[in-house]
Amino acid sequence: MPKTIYITTPLYYVNAAPHIGHSYTSVAADCLARYHRLRGEEVFLLTGTDEHGQKIAQAAAAAGKAPQAFADEVVERFRELWSLLGIRYDYFIRTTEPRHEQAVREVLTQLRGTLKQATYQGWYCTPDETFWTQEELGHQSGSSPTCPSCQRPLEPTNEEGWYLPLRANQRWLQAFVAEHPTFVQPETRYNELNSLLEQPLPEYLCITRPKSRVSWGIAAPFSPNHVVYVWFDALLNYITVPKFLGRAQELWPADVHFIGKDILRHHAVYWPIMLHEMGLSDAQMPRRIFAHGWWKIGEQKMSKSLGNIVDPTIVVTQLLKDQPYAADVYRYFLLREVPFGQDGLFSEEALVKRLTTDLGNDLGNLVNRTLSMIDRYCASRLPLAAGPGCAVDDESLRSLATAVPAALEQALSELNFSSALETIMRLVTEANQYIESQAPWSLAKAGHTARLHGVLHVLAEVLRIVAIVLQPFMPSVSAAIWQQLGLEGVPQRLSDAARWPGISDSRALAAHPVLFPRMEAIKTG
């Protein structure tokens, strides 16, 4: 039985509602999952929320709520957003789920012999829930160092607890990373990991917290005075879920962990070391970690704790309120605007520009013009026959269209979403140019009916292919194009995209309202 493709998102903290950054990771993960399903593969997409730790406890206290009640409320914001954006996950794990808590305790019990009990002196970043040793802070000395990752002030820590050996695993990890050049992507992050590993790692990672300081966590099984460090708890979800669902054989190892570059160290250092200590072999390590870039506002990372966030729900339901496929417009923007892996600047102007140009002027226009001409010149029925004459033009568009699935495959094997969309949109542009060069209205005037139907046949086939290949990116738009063409259901198989012709009976078009109403409607609406 082929392995089920297992894709994960980070477990987002429930200290505040989700913003564009969170939606980015989830949209990318959903797009990849949909792509594999379209290829006929079995896929399991795991997402969820990270609900323990000091940061959540503090946010709950500030809201005057108990941590669990607070988490119960915020988690709904994530679920609602994923539903709004068409994120189709197979399981939603909350780290407060008893089955997960139990599994974490079991792992700790199993690791008890390798853990060291000691007192830790160092620095702690509460917003990142991350320890830093004086060594790692390098040149920063004195009493108020800042976090190397988020630049916020660190708090001194002096804590008795249990420690996972990091440095003892460094050689193993270095060798593993060297032998698996695609373990971390993109290449910049792989290089970042290698430079990190060129320096000595801290000797240990403290994986417990004294209850006296942080009570909101999973009780450590062997110490009544400690809870489990939130990162140790959360990372384990990737393996606890397949285990408690009884699907570990089929799912593990994870194929892609999607993360942002802010949590590379946790995923590419702590996580493999945890798994290695748990006795997993090299072949059982996660296959790929992709650390994408940040959405920024000006020079700063968009972040809940910096308070400079853009709420995706507002973008979709207010800014794009007149768009029938608002969520897809938003998905398109995120995946097309910035090469996956690089940072991007979010602005409403940039979003509206993509909507107006790529989607309105190019894609929407192609669909609308083609279907209106089929209405007018073919009595609203899809023309089946290839036309006489101009075979060279037809052939060039046909070969471009039928090559798109392979190009998509290549781009998505590298998780290059923007390049995949660029390829699809190139086909759209070429098809619009084909309309100009073939001028169906002139063919109609001159009475060249066979050629006219041939041109519209080519265009209908292009639309059919566009509907299929757009499916992972814009599922509702894909379904709409498919239905407007009068085809049944929704695109099911990527392999159908390379077939030409793929429309075998002369179906009647369905109603075809404009897919992307013009910009003015947004402004005045």
Point out which residues bind ligand ME8 (CB under 6 A): 10-13, 21-22, 24-25, 50, 234-235, 259-260, 262-263, 294-295, 301-303
Of residues 15 and 471, the one with the C-beta less far from ligand ME8? 15
From 331, 339, 293, 336, select the one nearest 312 (Cα to Cα). Answer: 331
Of residues 13 and 124, the one with the C-beta less far from ligand ME8? 13
Of residues 37 and 301, the one with the C-beta less far from ligand ME8? 301
- Minimum CB separation of residue 15 from ligand ME8 in Å reads 7
Helix axes of 20-38 and 326-337: crossing angle, nearest 10 degrees: 90
According to DSSP, the β-strands at 226-228 and 208-210 are: antiparallel
φ/ψ bin of 46: left (φ > 0), alpha (ψ from -120 to 50), beta (otherwise): beta
Structure tokens at 345: 């600047």
- Minimum CB separation of residue 126 from ligand ME8 in Å reads 12
Helix (H/G/I), strand (E/B), else coil: 500: coil
Helix (H) or strand (E) holding 469: helix 449-470
Of residues 4 and 303, the one with the C-beta less far from ligand ME8? 303
Helix (H/G/I), strand (E/B), else coil: 422: helix
Of residues 16 and 400, the one with the C-beta less far from ligand ME8? 16
Specify the DSSP class assigned to residue 340. Answer: B
Of residues 86 and 260, the one with the C-beta less far from ligand ME8? 260
Structure tokens at 319: 């800014």
Of residues 341 and 475, the one with the C-beta less far from ligand ME8? 341
Of residues 13 and 163, the one with the C-beta less far from ligand ME8? 13
* C-alpha dist (Å) from residue 471 to 35, 39, 475, 482: 8, 11, 4, 10
Q: Are 481 and 467 in contact (CB under 8 A)?
A: yes
Contacts for 213 with CB less than 8 Å, ≥ 6 apart: 54, 159
Contacts for 324 with CB less than 8 Å, ≥ 6 apart: 480, 513, 515, 517
- Minimum CB separation of residue 421 from ligand ME8 in Å reads 18
- Tell me how far apart the alpha carbons of residues 390 and 479 are, in angstroms, rounded to a whole number: 31
Shortest-Cβ-distance residue relative to ligand ME8: 21
- Minimum CB separation of residue 265 from ligand ME8 in Å reads 11
Helix (H/G/I), strand (E/B), else coil: 501: coil
- Tell me how far apart the alpha carbons of residues 289 and 258 are, in angstroms, rounded to a whole number: 6
Of residues 38 and 254, the one with the C-beta less far from ligand ME8? 254
- The residue ranges of DSSP E strands in 273-412, in sequence order, are 289-292, 295-297, 300-301, 344-345
- Minimum CB separation of residue 340 from ligand ME8 in Å reads 11
